[in-house]
Structure 1
Amino acid sequence: MSQYRIAIIGGGPGGLTLARLLHLGGLTVSVFERDTHADDRPQGGTLDLHADTGQRALRLAGLERQFLAAARYDDQGIRLYDSSGTLLFGDDESDGDRPEVDRTALRHMLIESLPAGMIRWGTRVDRIEPGNDGRHDVIAGGVRESFDLVVGADGAWSKVRALLSDAKPVYEGVTMVELGFDDVDRRHPAVAALTGRGKMFALGDNRGLILQRNGHAHIRGYFALRTEQPWAPALEDATPDAIRHRILEYLTGWGDALTNAVWSADTVIGVRPLYALPVGHRWAHRPGMTLIGDAAHLMSPFGGEGVNLAMTDAADLAAALIQGDDAAVERFEEAMAARAAPAADGAAQGLRHSISPTGPAAALAHFREVMVAAA
C-alpha cells in the first residue's frame, strides 16, 4: 500500500489526528489546510477530552505524554447560576477524567508530530473531481493531483460532503457572541471568582452567559440568545462596544456580577450562529471518498462531544485504511453514523434545555441527575 495516496481536506483536530495515525501506519498522506501557518487565526477555546474517545485517540497516536503536559485536570469544575447571579449548583471537584486542553495546544502537539511538508499550509481546495480508475482529483490553486482516497475533515461547510450528501447545516435558533478575558486572576478577579475552576452557566429566559477557564489565565465568555435569525448580518460591522451594549440590552434585569462581566471583557472575538446537520446524517458509500468530524455529523457544542467524536472517527478510519479494504471503510462509516446519532441528539437537547424559556430549570435537573449517577 506504499503507493496508496490519501488527501485529508482540513487541518483541525480530526484531520490532524488521522494524518498522524496514517503516518504511523506507513501510508502516504497530504493535508490540505487553508491557514497559512499554525497560528494564522484563533482556534477557539478549551476542550474536555474524554478517556475512551479523545484521549484514546491520542494514546494510539503516541502523544499521551504531550497531552498530559498540556492537560488541565484542575479545570473540570462546573457551576450553574440563575439570571440574578444566585448559585444554584456548584461542583469544583477536579478528580474526574475529562481534563481540559486548549484547542491551540492540541493542534500544536498534533502538527509537531507530523513530518515537514505533510501539511500544505495556505492551500485552499477549489474543487474535487472524479479521476481515473476510481481515484479523485483534488484541484487547489490551479494544481491538479490524483488521490486514492479523499477524506473530508473540512468542517461545517465541507466541500467534500457536498459530493456525498445533499444535507446542509441548519441554523439551530441560537446565536452566540464570543468574548475574551486576559490575565483574569489579576485583572478580572470578579470574573475569575464567578467562573471558578472550570466553566459556569448563567441561564434565563432564552439567553445565557457562559464563562470557561482556558490556559494561560484566560477565560472565554459566550453570550447565547435564542433568536429566529442569526445575528451575524446585523453585527458583522458593529464595533465591540456596540456589541457589548446590544448584549446588555438583552440582559436587562440580570445580576450585576453577570452584566459587569460582559462589560469588562477585553475583546469581542466574534458572532457565532450555531448550525447542525440532521441527527442521524448518513450517505451512500462512495469508494475513494469519506467524511469525519463536523463534516459528517456537525452538532451544537452543548453536548461536549464534537472533538472527541472527530478524534475517534480518525482513530477508527485509520484502522480501516491500514487494513487496506474499502469494505472496512464502508463499515467504519456505518459505525460512525450509529455512534454520532445519539451524541447529536443529546447535543440538540442540551441546547434546547440550556437556552430555553424555563431558564436554568432543565439544566439544574440534568446536573443533579449526573451527580446522582456518579455517586
Structure 2
Amino acid sequence: MTIAIIGAGMGGLALARVLHVHGVDSAVYEREPARDARDQGSMLDIHSGQRALREAGLLDRFFAIARGEGQDMRLLQPDGTLLLQEDTPDDAPLLRPEVDRADLRDLLLDSLPDGVVHWGHAFESAADGVLRFAGGRSTPYDLLVGADGANSRVRPLLTDARPAHLGQNAVELGIPDIDRTHPGLAAMVGRGNYWVFGDGISLAAQRNGDGRVRIGISFYNTPEDWFETSGIRFDDPAAARARLIELLPGWDAGITALIEACDDRVVPRTLTTLPAGLRWESKPDVTLVGDAAHLMPPVGEGANMALLDGALLALALVAHPADYAAAVEEYELEMFERTGAAARMSAEMQELLMSPDAAQRLLEFFQPG
C-alpha cells in the first residue's frame, strides 16, 4: 500500500515517523522548496503531544531541546500592573515545556530517512488513485492523508467545511538577540511568556530559544477586513510600529517600548477556525490530520492535537495492515471525540480572551478560588 502525506507539518511528520518506527513506508509531499524556505513561527507548548513523541521514539530528544523555563509566565494590565508572575524552578517537571516550532520540526525531519520528504511538490488534485502536483508531476497512491494545514486542498475531498474568521486580527513582530540589544526589556519579559490584556487588545511576548522575542498584538472582535481600515502600513515597518503604539492609548510606556524595539519583520495575521466538532463520512482512501481536520483558536492545543493525530493514525494503520478502511475509520472516530473536546475547550478560552475583563478572568483561571 502506498501512503501519501500532503504537508510536512507536525501532523504529517509525526505520521511518517511513527510509520517508519513500525517498518511502514510513506511519502511526504511538501509544497515548500526546502525545509528552511520560510520562518516556522514561534514557540509551542507541548503537553498531550508528548505521547506522540514517545510513540515516535523521540521523547528524550524532545526534552533535550525543550525549554522548561519557557513555562514561566507574567500577566499584566495595560497600565503596567503585574497581576501574576510564575517562575519555574530549575528542577520542575517538563509538563508543558515550550519548544521552538522550527526545532521540533527539525527533530521530526531528521528522524526520517532521506527521500521520505519530497520538497517542491504543490498538491493540485487526487482522483482514481493518482496524485497530481503543480508542474505536471503525478504519482499513484492507495491512502491520501491531508496534513496541509488551515487552507487544506485535500479537505474538500471529505467535507465542504471552510475556515471562518475568528474575529481576531493579529500583528506579529519581534526583537532579535534581545539579551544583547535590549537587556532591560529582556529582564521585563522574563524567560517565558509575557501577557498584557486590555479591553479588546492583547500583547503577548514570548522568549524563543534563539534569543529572539516574538511579539503578537491581537485585536479582538474585529472584522475580517480590519487591516484595510486599521491605518497600519505594512509596507513601512517604522510607520507600522508607530501606528500600533497609537492603537494602544494609555498603555504603559515600558510595554509599548517592546514595539519600538522590534525589527522590520511586521506580519499581519487574520485568524480563522473550523466548526468545533467537525465530522465527515469516512472514506477508505483519504483522511485528514492537524489543522486540515480541526483548525482551532490558537490557545495551545493545535500542535498537540496534530502530533497525536499523526501518531494515532499511524498506530491504527499498523494494527490493520490489510484493511486501511478499518484503520481510517477507527482513527477518525477517536480523533473526532478527542479533538472535538479540545476545540470546544479552545473556543471557551478564546471567548475569555476576547472579553473586556480578560486580564481578571485569566487571573482567576490561573489562580482559582
Counterpart position of 1:336: 335
Counterpart position of 1:108: 106
2:55 corresponds to which of 60, 65, 84: 60
Letter of the structure 1 residue corresponding to residue 155 of structure 2: R
The alpha-carbon distance between structure 1 residues 11 and 238, as it changes in their structure 2 partners (threshold 3 A), is: same
Counterpart position of 1:260: 257
The reply on whether 1:319 has 2:342 as its aligned counterpart is no
Counterpart position of 2:3: 6
Q: How far off its partner does 1:136 sit?
A: 4.7
**Residues in 2 aligned to 1:190 and 1:266: alpha-carbon distance in whole angstroms:** 17
2:69 corresponds to which of 74, 78, 83: 74
Residues 132-147 of structure 1 aligned to structure 2 (within 5 Å)? 135-147=129-141
Aligned to 1:28, what secondary structure does the other structure show?
coil
Q: Which moved more, 1:360-369 or 1:173-182?
A: 360-369
Residues 336-375 of structure 1 aligned to structure 2 (within 5 Å)? 336-369=335-368
Residues 174-193 of structure 1 aligned to structure 2 (within 5 Å)? 174-193=168-187
Counterpart position of 1:164: 158
Indicate conservation of the 8 Å contact 1:5/1:27, yes or no: no
**Residues in 2 aligned to 1:137 and 1:236: alpha-carbon distance in whole angstroms:** 41
**Residues in 2 aligned to 1:119 and 1:98: alpha-carbon distance in whole angstroms:** 29
1:289 corresponds to which of 286, 289, 295: 286
Letter of the structure 1 residue corresponding to residue 63 of structure 2: L
Indicate conservation of the 8 Å contact 1:20/1:113, yes or no: yes
**Residues in 1 aligned to 2:5 and 2:159: alpha-carbon distance in whole angstroms:** 18
Residues 196-228 of structure 1, C-alpha deviation per residue, up to 9 Å, x if partnerless? Answer: 121011001100100011102111100000112
Counterpart position of 2:207: 213
Q: How far off its partner does 1:186 sit?
A: 1.9
The alpha-carbon distance between structure 1 residues 117 and 8, as it changes in their structure 2 partners (threshold 3 A), is: same
TM-score normalised by L of structure 1: 0.92
1:123 corresponds to which of 121, 124, 146: 121
Q: How far off its partner does 1:244 sit?
A: 1.1
Q: How far off its partner does 1:275 sit?
A: 0.6
Letter of the structure 2 residue corresponding to residue 108 of structure 1: D
Letter of the structure 1 residue corresponding to residue 235 of structure 2: A
Q: How far off its partner does 1:236 sit?
A: 7.5
The reply on whether 1:150 has 2:144 as its aligned counterpart is yes
Aligned to 2:114, what secondary structure does the other structure show?
coil
**Residues in 2 aligned to 1:265 and 1:228: alpha-carbon distance in whole angstroms:** 26
TM-score normalised by L of structure 2: 0.93
Indicate conservation of the 8 Å contact 1:136/1:150, yes or no: no
Q: After TM superposition, what 4+ stretches of structure 1 lie above 6 angstroms from structure 2?
A: none
Counterpart position of 2:271: 274
The alpha-carbon distance between structure 1 residues 9 and 190, as it changes in their structure 2 partners (threshold 3 A), is: same
Q: How far off its partner does 1:233 sit?
A: 4.8
The alpha-carbon distance between structure 1 residues 144 and 214, as it changes in their structure 2 partners (threshold 3 A), is: same
The alpha-carbon distance between structure 1 residues 178 and 185, as it changes in their structure 2 partners (threshold 3 A), is: same
% identical aligned pairs: 44
Residues 354-373 of structure 1, C-alpha deviation per residue, up to 9 Å, x if partnerless? Answer: 2332241221111112xx7x
Gaps of 5+ in 1: none
Aligned to 1:366, what secondary structure does the other structure show?
helix
Letter of the structure 1 residue corresponding to residue 112 of structure 2: L
**Residues in 1 aligned to 2:302 and 2:277: alpha-carbon distance in whole angstroms:** 14
Letter of the structure 2 residue corresponding to residue 284 of structure 1: E
Query: What RMSD over aligned residues (CA atoms) do the two structures have, in Å?
Result: 1.6
Indicate conservation of the 8 Å contact 2:130/2:138, yes or no: no
Counterpart position of 2:224: 229
Counterpart position of 2:306: 310
Residues 211-253 of structure 1, C-alpha deviation per residue, up to 9 Å, x if partnerless? Answer: 0111021111000001123445565853212221221121011
Aligned to 1:340, what secondary structure does the other structure show?
helix
